[in-house]
Amino acid sequence: MTADNAMPRLGVLRKMAKIDSPLEGITVVELGHSVAAPYAGLILADLGARVIKVENPRSGDYARGWGPPFWRDTASLFHALNRGKEGVTVDFGDAQDCARLKSLIVEQADAVIQNLRPGILDKFGLTAETLRAEKPELIWCDIGAFGAKGPLANKPGYDPLAQATTGIMSVTGEGDRPPVRVGVSLVDMGSGMWAIIGLLAGLIARMNGREGRTVSTSLYETGLAWMTGPLAGFAASGEVRKPHGSGAAEIVPYQAFQASDGWLMIAAGNDNLFRKLCGALGLEALSVDPAFVTNAARVANRDRLIPQIEVAALRYSAEALGKLLDEAGVPNAPLLSVDQVAMHPQTSALEMTVRCVGDEIDLVGIPLAFDGARPRARTQAPRLGEHNAILRTQASKEAVNAK
């Protein structure tokens, strides 16, 4: 490389070095517990923001005790949701603690994310209205339970309550069995994602000379958003469809089938894929049967079609069936357990897990990459009050200013 072209290359390298931390220089205070706000904070930390997590000095975030399993003396879930953050404790019953937190937000924070019970911050003057009056550019993100208005507005909430009340549990599981919740906190984590989308939109608006804003989302609203398809179906037909286990109400065949030694998810999502599936399984007659030629016909005649595919699938091992369908061009995937997913070469190839500095537990990163590089924070989840020096420094500044 010559001296003439070295400088442009150096500029590219510097740009690449920065791309992993697009929110570098942004400071966010997280007044959160459990999953929703902490997951939002995790996303921000992986994107390069400085995230200061605020906890109760006595109990800390409830999620610290959500185990076993524990990693060292803290629940593994807490480590997963809170790596990359600084941690301080604030006693809201202590006026000085509240004043220091307020000063920290006004002087240093670009944004606040919070998912505390409705009205709890009002008692301490730590509200969007109060803080944005002092700092108009502040972006405040509320993650509520059931939304800011309506008959359930003041009701506390958790992920399974939102899954229940938004209909997610009604379309999950099997129609003749007891209700089943989705096994991961998809409403909590989805709410955190919506909060981040709103926060990033606020940052862009602020870059264009506009003031900060209050961003609001809730578990209930997020649950309704996940129900976009079923609610549209009800609006169109007035029909309340039963859940179909691993299948879908609107597409057939689109479900897990049992092979001789395991299960395989098969997604024949259109008429052409159905014909390919029939050819691969030796069921060509079904592909020309008027009762099954179109997806609408297959949905109507699901109970006649599925048993015939089930019989054919049982002739093969899961691996052999998957290979057969791959060759035929039919989308399929094995049903993997948690340990199988953790050890899967695809998980490894995508470098989705991260180990923090000085730690040995594999934690999942955010599903984003910039120019092929995955952004991630590598500091461990904070011990309770580990970074309280931040507040002590803030108190020292106040003392100096008072003089």
How confident is the model over 45-76, as pLDDT tens digits? 999 999 999 999 999 999 999 999 999 999 99
What was the pLDDT predicted at 166? 98
What was the pLDDT predicted at 402? 58
What was the pLDDT predicted at 117? 87
Residue 8: is its pLDDT beyond 70? no
**Is there a single domain that holds both residue 62 and residue 164?**
yes
Residue 245 lies in a domain: no
**Is there a single domain that holds both residue 144 and residue 285?**
no
Residue 247 lies in a domain: no
**Is there a single domain that holds both residue 88 and residue 163?**
yes
User: Hey, which residues are catalytic here?
Assistant: 188
**Is there a single domain that holds both residue 290 and residue 367?**
no
- What's the CA gap between 128 and 107, in Å, rounded? 15
- What's the CA gap between 362 and 192, in Å, rounded? 22
pLDDT digits (tens, 9 = 90+) for 220-269: 999 999 999 999 999 999 999 889 999 999 999 999 999 999 999 999 99
What was the pLDDT predicted at 175? 86
What was the pLDDT predicted at 6? 36
Residue 249 lies in a domain: no
Q: Is 182 left (phi over 0), alpha (psi -120 to 50) or beta?
A: beta
Q: What is the residue range of 366's domain?
A: 15-226+360-402
Sequence-distant (≥ 6) Cβ neighbours of residue 320 within 8 angstroms: 259
For 160-193, b/e burial (b = at least 16 CB within 10 A) is bbbbbbbbbbbbbbeeeeeeebeeebbbbbbbbb
Radius of gyration of the chain (CA): 26
Residue 348 lies in a domain: no
Contact 29, 37 (CB under 8 A): no
Dihedral sign (CA 198, 162, 223, 67): positive
Residue 147: is its pLDDT beyond 90? yes
Q: Establish whether the linkage from the previous residue to 69 is cis, with ω within 30° of 0.
A: yes
Q: Which two tokens stand for residue 175?
A: 């129609």
**Is there a single domain that holds both residue 101 and residue 171?**
yes
pTM equals 0.90
**Is there a single domain that holds both residue 178 and residue 280?**
no
**Is there a single domain that holds both residue 137 and residue 269?**
no
Given the structure tokens 């605020």, which residue do they identify? 54
Residue 10: is its pLDDT beyond 50? no
What was the pLDDT predicted at 120? 87
Q: Which two tokens stand for residue 118?
A: 């409705």
What was the pLDDT predicted at 400? 57
Residue 81 lies in a domain: yes
Residue 7: is its pLDDT beyond 60? no
**Is there a single domain that holds both residue 115 and residue 222?**
yes
What was the pLDDT predicted at 395? 65
- What's the CA gap between 230 and 237, in Å, rounded? 11
Residue 351 lies in a domain: no
In single-letter form, the type of residue at position 363 comes to L
3-state secondary structure of 35: coil
Residue 5 lies in a domain: no
What was the pLDDT predicted at 293? 97
Contact 160, 186 (CB under 8 A): no
Q: How many domains does the chain have?
A: 2
**Is there a single domain that holds both residue 37 and residue 168?**
yes
Residue 328 lies in a domain: yes
199 against 15, higher pLDDT: 199
Whole-number percent of the chain with pLDDT over 90: 87
Residue 16: is its pLDDT beyond 70? no
Contact 119, 154 (CB under 8 A): yes
**Is there a single domain that holds both residue 33 and residue 134?**
yes
Whole-number percent of the chain with pLDDT over 70: 93
Q: In the listed set 300, 334, 368, which residue is the last one of a domain according to the structure?
A: 334
**Is there a single domain that holds both residue 126 and residue 222?**
yes
Residue 13: is its pLDDT beyond 70? no
DSSP string, 141-196: EEEESS-SSSTTTT----HHHHHHHTTTGGGSSBTTS-----SS-HHHHHHHHHHH
What was the pLDDT predicted at 135? 97
What was the pLDDT predicted at 76? 98
Mean pLDDT of the chain, nearest integer: 92
What was the pLDDT predicted at 28? 98
What was the pLDDT predicted at 176? 86
**Is there a single domain that holds both residue 55 and residue 167?**
yes
- What's the CA gap between 1 and 356, in Å, rounded? 36
What was the pLDDT predicted at 398? 64
CA 395 and chain centroid, separation: 36
Residue 2: is its pLDDT beyond 60? no
Where does the pLDDT of residue 79 fall: very low under 50, low under 70, confident under 90, or very high at 90 and above? very high
Other C-beta atoms lying within 10 Å of the C-beta of residue 3: 6
In single-letter form, the type of residue at position 370 comes to F
Please state the rounded mean pLDDT for residues 299-320. 97
CATH code for the domain in which residue 281 is found: 3.30.1540.10
**Out of 8-17, 187-196, 227-236, 315-324, which region has the weakest mean confidence (pLDDT)?**
8-17
What was the pLDDT predicted at 394? 72
